[in-house]
Amino acid sequence: MDRASLTMLLAVIIFIEPSAIMSSILILALMIMVASAPDPGLLGKEPPSPVQNSEA
């Protein structure tokens, strides 16, 4: 799943689940997932990779 679909899924879950605590946990979980598997398409920036750094 890409970042857009994860964000959409999170928004749907927040609307379905009114509990602020649950929403906070879900947001935190999403942020951890995003941090551990960054999407290269985010804001048009590509995360640095060893291959790109060695070629530069």
Angle between helices 3-16 and 20-36 (to 10 degrees): 170
Note down the domain range covering 10: 1-36
Give domain status of residue 49, yes or no. Answer: no
Read off the pTM: 0.33
Give domain status of residue 11, yes or no. Answer: yes
Give domain status of residue 43, yes or no. Answer: no
pLDDT for res 44: 53
Expressed in angstroms, the distance from the first to the final Cα of the chain is 30
The domain tally of the chain equals 1
CA distances from 56 to 11, 21, 40, 45, 51 (A): 39, 45, 18, 16, 9
Q: What is the pLDDT along the chain (56 residues), one digit of tens a residue?
A: 577 887 887 777 767 766 777 777 777 887 887 777 655 555 555 555 555 555 55
pLDDT for res 47: 54
Q: Which residues contact 31 (CB under 8 A, 6 or more apart)?
A: none
Give domain status of residue 50, yes or no. Answer: no
pLDDT for res 37: 66
